[in-house]
């Protein structure tokens, strides 16, 4: 702690030579400022999101009619592989963990930048290179990777998936993985060493806690994936037989390694967005987070349990100990449930203002609750036997992942948009976007639960008229188009905000945490001065001294002793 | 069933003691409602809706189906409580001015409630899962029939005793013939990549994994014609890797098998 105080003491405006920054494109290319890199991450990931969303529209068009030949089976397999891979590796993770964490976390802990600014820039460029590599697969003669985002061996070997497309996919995931690992190292170090004086661990905003725990999970999970990918590449090109039966290898090893990464990955994707939600609800309810410590321990419990649930993706392999993985998977619902009740508890008794960020968050809780409950169903092996690899699972994980990355993610996007750009967005258009997504999303995915229960497997390019899947698939496709249209509204909103700017004040939402204590957008080294940090909500304390946290004990009553010591000073 | 009737009787007895005091009456009214609901629920347990799922055409599938019903009912209760609390908060605590609400940081009692109750629910669900899972994955040591299923890109081969091999013929998908009311043990292997042996109406799927041999039992409860599919992505023609399942009476099955075996020797 003393080191921190000596190092940054009272935050200052930055050294002179830093103020002479290049302008325009050169700034974007060369900057090591966490805010520029954070914005690079955010905009790049949103571009990938739009591309992957467009692929989803093609998928839904193919499934609109039975025996459809809108695209060939090969193209269809490429479409859903790259849709899933982009959404998970290139959008969901980098959007939150590269974008929001990079931009917001140093601000929330009162730091001038990340601990390793150059490493941070390297992370971004690895990510961009990896993302472009994946897309380049479409330009190769054999097409892009077509073995699903999970890339099961031996479908992903050189015989079954020849060509450069799959190789580009493997290299792409490795690069993006390294980018994530470097960002994780950076965030852990930043969180430990660059917190402003007074900001103890238990005064950190939940957003910071969640990013910190996410970083730890990345350090656990991603190296395993990278190792598995290197072995896959070796099988394809160096003549090893790690995943092939012929050479004495074991194909199911890939599934174990992949899901040992893959299930923590689900929480790597979700926890950052849970963090955003936990920032937004208190601000728009004018209340502190309900059950802060319980929430922190729930997050840590999720992280711990998430390393012991991977084989619930492998219940139907017949090679795993069902009761253990079932128990662990059921159990992880408990800390997740605690989070949901904590969010409701935060709203309880508050003055809840349904501005668009809050609207998105409520939509998130509705959708995510259902996704979580169907997750509990899938954690039971017998039920998984009946629904595994069907559209039931597709509906489940879209409720969870779309719920977090889009509902919570766009809640966070609109919440911090004024801080990041210095401009306001158009509230009406944001609300319209929300309602279109909310309706479109449910129309898309609720029918898919029924399709799965009626036996429609996932990843099939076509179905027969006699399967009776047609009506539900049509409804689902229409829902997808509505959802797609919502993002046109979003782009219009961004365009108007860009061409006809309304300047944003420093603290438009009466925010609680340190990022709202500086200008919108913040100056180069973030803070000219910091408010005193005596609780979890320093900016709230500053703006509402009559209801300040540090004067209150935890049950809301005023602690007389603190009151006295404050007045006697 | 019996439990339901007993509960209903109790609730009728409750009606007799209705008019004591106002408060008592309200409490009793609520209790009666709950008891009635429970009674009605256990009375109709056999007639519960399927909630979109197949009821299962094997004993294993029916076991899964009953577990599914239990889970989905729990899910509905949990969903109603959670969504109910959320919507109550959304509508009750809408912003109505600029005053600062009471700054509640925590409430140990409620935090314990919403931790302990989910743990109890999870324990219950796990116990039910454990029992059903053992029933479904149990492999008989003396099955009436053993069939080997070989999955390959992109079709299925069903190997019966006596050298009978059922394979796709031209554009026709192969049919897996099973005797009704008898236990069949399936041995499942793959020749190339990972496939998913999936019969929706049996509420069951299992991977055909290269390098792994899987065994499981089916005991069909009714004759009929069912669809089978490949559930795990296996390459270009994954969607067309279909098969049929035909469950016939035990004697019909024996006739069929004998005919097939004669064809082999002929």
ipTM of the complex: 0.89
pLDDT above 90 (res B83): yes
Position B96 scores a pLDDT of 87
Preferred mutation among A287, A339, A375, A385 to probe B, highest tally of B CBs within 10 A: A385
User: How far is the C-alpha of A38 from the C-alpha of A526, rounded, in Å?
Assistant: 14
The pLDDT confidence band at residue A524, using thresholds 50, 70 and 90, is: confident
pLDDT, tens digit, 9 for 90 and up, residues B208-225: 999 999 999 999 999 999
Per-residue tokens: A161:
């998936």
pLDDT above 80 (res B19): no
Of A317, A337, A549, the CB nearest to B212: A317
The pLDDT confidence band at residue A561, using thresholds 50, 70 and 90, is: very low
Are the beta carbons of A288 and B103 separated by less than 8 Å?
yes
Contact between A513 and A279 (Cβ < 8 Å): yes
The pLDDT confidence band at residue B98, using thresholds 50, 70 and 90, is: confident
pLDDT, tens digit, 9 for 90 and up, residues A405-454: 999 999 999 999 999 999 999 999 999 999 999 999 999 999 999 999 99
Per-residue tokens: A235:
């099988």
Residue from B160, B166, B211 nearest B190 by CA? B211
User: How far is the C-alpha of A386 from the C-alpha of B52, rounded, in Å?
Assistant: 12
- Count CA within 13 A, CB hemisphere, residue A117: 13
Per-residue tokens: A435:
């309602």
SS3 A113: coil
Mean pLDDT of B95-123: 92
Chain A residue with CA closest to B133: the answer is A382
User: Which residues are registered as beta bridge partners of B188?
Assistant: B149, B214
SS3 A68: coil
Contact between A378 and A312 (Cβ < 8 Å): yes
Range of the structural domain that residue A152 is part of = 2-497+506-568
pLDDT above 60 (res A1): no
Mean pLDDT of A68-87: 95
Among all chains, which residue has been given the structure tokens 């060939």?
A: A72
Position A16 scores a pLDDT of 44
B203 lies within 8 A of chain A by CB: yes
Return mean pLDDT, chain B: 85
Least confidently predicted of A213-222, A524-533, A556-565: A556-565
Interface subset of B 147-166, CB within 8 angstroms of A:
none
- Count CA within 13 A, CB hemisphere, residue B51: 17
Position B45 scores a pLDDT of 53
Position A12 scores a pLDDT of 46
**Torsion, CA B78, CA B80, CA B83, CA B87, rounded to 10:** -150
pLDDT above 50 (res A562): no
User: How far is the C-alpha of A542 from the C-alpha of A551, rounded, in Å?
Assistant: 12
Residues of B in contact with A73 (CB under 8 A): 236-239
pLDDT, tens digit, 9 for 90 and up, residues A169-215: 999 999 999 999 999 999 999 999 999 999 999 999 999 999 999 99
Residues of B in contact with A362 (CB under 8 A): 86, 90
Chain B residue with CA closest to A323: the answer is B130
Return mean pLDDT, chain A: 91
For A317-339, letters b (16+ CB in 10 Å) and e give bbbbebeebbbbbbbbbbbbbbb
Per-residue tokens: A133:
């590599």
Pairing of strands B155-160, B243-248: unpaired
Position A525 scores a pLDDT of 87
pLDDT above 70 (res B18): no
Residue from A394, A387, A347, A396 nearest A368 by CA? A396
Residues of A in contact with B234 (CB under 8 A): 155
Contact between A194 and A263 (Cβ < 8 Å): no
User: How far is the C-alpha of B164 from the C-alpha of B175, rounded, in Å?
Assistant: 13
Position B30 scores a pLDDT of 53
B47 lies within 8 A of chain A by CB: no
Rounded to 5°, the CA angle A94-A166-A90 comes to 10
**Residues, chain B:** 266
**Residues, chain A:** 569
- Identify the CATH number of the domain in which residue A327 sits: 1.20.210.10
Residue from A252, A258, A262, A251 nearest A320 by CA? A252
pLDDT above 80 (res A249): yes
pLDDT above 50 (res A25): yes
Residues of B in contact with A147 (CB under 8 A): 233
pTM of the model: 0.89
The pLDDT confidence band at residue B48, using thresholds 50, 70 and 90, is: confident
Position B32 scores a pLDDT of 57
User: How far is the C-alpha of A151 from the C-alpha of A168, rounded, in Å?
Assistant: 13
Total tally of structural domains belonging to chain A: 1
User: How far is the C-alpha of A130 from the C-alpha of A177, rounded, in Å?
Assistant: 9
Residues of A in contact with B89 (CB under 8 A): 344, 347-348, 352
Distance of CA A116 to the CA centre of its chain: 22
Per-residue tokens: B148:
């080997």
Mean pLDDT of A488-492: 96
User: Which residues are registered as beta bridge partners of B196?
Assistant: B207
pLDDT above 80 (res B8): no
**Torsion, CA A445, CA A449, CA A454, CA A460, rounded to 10:** 50
Residue from A262, A191, A187 nearest A220 by CA? A262
B69 lies within 8 A of chain A by CB: no
Contact between B139 and B187 (Cβ < 8 Å): no
pLDDT above 80 (res A508): yes
Higher pLDDT, B26 or B47: B47
The pLDDT confidence band at residue A558, using thresholds 50, 70 and 90, is: very low
Chain A residue with CA closest to B83: the answer is A366
- The phi and psi torsions of B49 (rounded to 5 degrees) equal -65, 160
């Amino acid at each position: 702690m003393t080191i921190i105080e000596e190092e940054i003491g009272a935050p200052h405006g930055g050294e002179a030579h830093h103020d002479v920054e290049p302008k325009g494109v050169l700034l974007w290319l060369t900057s090591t400022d966490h805010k520029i890199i954070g914005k690079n991450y955010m905009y790049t990931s949103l571009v990938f999101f739009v591309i992957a969303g467009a692929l989803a529209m093609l998928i839904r068009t193919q499934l609109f009619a039975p025996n459809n030949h809108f695209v060939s089976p090969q193209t269809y397999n490429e479409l859903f592989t790259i849709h899933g891979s982009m959404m998970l590796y290139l959008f969901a993770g980098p959007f939150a963990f590269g974008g929001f964490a990079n931009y917001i976390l140093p601000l929330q802990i009162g730091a001038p930048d990340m601990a390793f600014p150059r490493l941070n820039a390297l992370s971004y460029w690895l990510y961009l290179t990896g993302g472009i590599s994946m897309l380049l697969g479409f330009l190769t003669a054999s097409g892009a990777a077509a073995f699903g985002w999970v890339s099961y061996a031996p479908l992903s070997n050189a015989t079954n998936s020849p060509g450069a497309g799959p190789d580009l996919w493997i290299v792409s995931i490795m690069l993006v993985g390294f980018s994530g690992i470097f960002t994780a190292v950076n965030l852990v170090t930043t969180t430990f060493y660059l917190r402003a004086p007074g900001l103890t661990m238990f005064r950190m905003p939940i957003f910071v806690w969640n990013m910190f725990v996410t970083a730890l999970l990345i350090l656990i999970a991603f190296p395993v994936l990278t190792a598995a990918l290197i072995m896959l590449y070796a099988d394809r090109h160096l003549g090893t037989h790690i995943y092939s039966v012929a050479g004495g290898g074991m194909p199911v090893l890939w599934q174990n390694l992949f899901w040992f990464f893959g299930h923590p990955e689900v929480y790597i994707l979700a926890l950052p967005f849970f963090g955003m939600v936990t920032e937004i609800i208190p601000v728009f309810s004018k209340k502190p987070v309900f059950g802060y410590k319980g929430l922190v321990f729930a997050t840590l419990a999720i992280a711990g349990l998430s390393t012991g649930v991977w084989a619930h993706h492998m219940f139907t392999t017949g090679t795993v100990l069902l009761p253990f993985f079932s128990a662990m998977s059921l159990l992880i619902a408990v800390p997740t449930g605690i989070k949901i009740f904590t969010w409701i508890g935060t709203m309880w008794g508050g003055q809840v203002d349904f501005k668009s960020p809050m609207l998105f968050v409520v939509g998130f809780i509705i959708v995510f609750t259902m996704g979580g409950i169907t997750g509990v169903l899938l954690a039971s092996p017998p039920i998984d036997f009946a629904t595994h690899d069907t559209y039931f699972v597709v509906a489940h994980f879209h409720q969870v992942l779309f719920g977090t990355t889009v509902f919570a993610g766009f809640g966070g996007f609109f919440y911090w948009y004024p801080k990041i750009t210095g401009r306001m967005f158009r509230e009406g258009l944001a609300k319209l976007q929300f309602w279109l997504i909310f309706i479109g999303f449910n129309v898309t995915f609720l029918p898919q639960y029924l399709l799965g229960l009626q036996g429609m497997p996932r990843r099939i390019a076509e179905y027969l008229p006699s399967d009776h899947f047609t009506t539900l698939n049509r409804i689902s496709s229409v829902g997808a188009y509505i959802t797609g249209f919502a993002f046109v509204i979003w782009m219009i909103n961004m365009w108007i905000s860009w061409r006809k700017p309304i300047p944003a004040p420093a603290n438009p939402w009466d925010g609680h945490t340190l990022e709202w204590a500086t200008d919108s957008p913040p100056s180069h080294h973030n803070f000219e001065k910091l408010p005193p940090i005596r609780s979890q909500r320093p900016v709230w304390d500053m703006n509402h001294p009559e209801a300040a946290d540090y004067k209150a004990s935890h049950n809301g009553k005023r602690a007389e002793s603190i009151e006295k010591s404050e007045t006697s000073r | 069933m019996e439990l339901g009737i007993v509960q209903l009787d109790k609730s009728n007895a409750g009606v007799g003691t209705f008019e004591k005091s106002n408060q008592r009456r309200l409490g009793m009214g609520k209790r009666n409602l709950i008891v009635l609901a429970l009674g009605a629920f256990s009375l109709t347990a056999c007639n519960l809706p399927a909630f979109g799922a197949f009821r299962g055409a094997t004993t294993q599938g029916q076991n899964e189906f009953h577990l599914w019903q239990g889970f989905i009912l729990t899910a509905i209760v949990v969903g109603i409580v959670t969504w109910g609390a959320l919507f109550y908060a959304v509508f009750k605590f809408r912003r109505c001015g600029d005053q600062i609400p009471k700054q509640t940081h925590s409430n140990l009692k409620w935090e314990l409630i919403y931790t302990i109750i989910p743990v109890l629910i999870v324990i219950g669900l796990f116990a039910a899962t454990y029992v059903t899972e053992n029933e479904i994955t149990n492999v008989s040591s003396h099955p009436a029939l053993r069939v080997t299923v070989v999955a390959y890109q992109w079709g299925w081969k069903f190997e019966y005793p006596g050298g009978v091999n059922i394979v796709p013929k031209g554009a026709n998908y192969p049919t897996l013939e099973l005797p009704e009311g008898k236990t069949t043990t399936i041995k499942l292997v793959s020749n190339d990549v990972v496939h998913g042996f999936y019969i929706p109406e049996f509420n069951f799927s299992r991977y055909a994994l290269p390098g792994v041999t899987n065994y499981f039992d089916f005991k069909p409860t009714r004759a009929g014609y069912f669809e089978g599919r490949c559930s795990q992505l296996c390459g270009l023609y994954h969607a067309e890797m279909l098969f049929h399942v035909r469950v016939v009476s035990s004697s019909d099955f024996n006739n069929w098998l004998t005919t097939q075996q004669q064809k082999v020797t002929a």
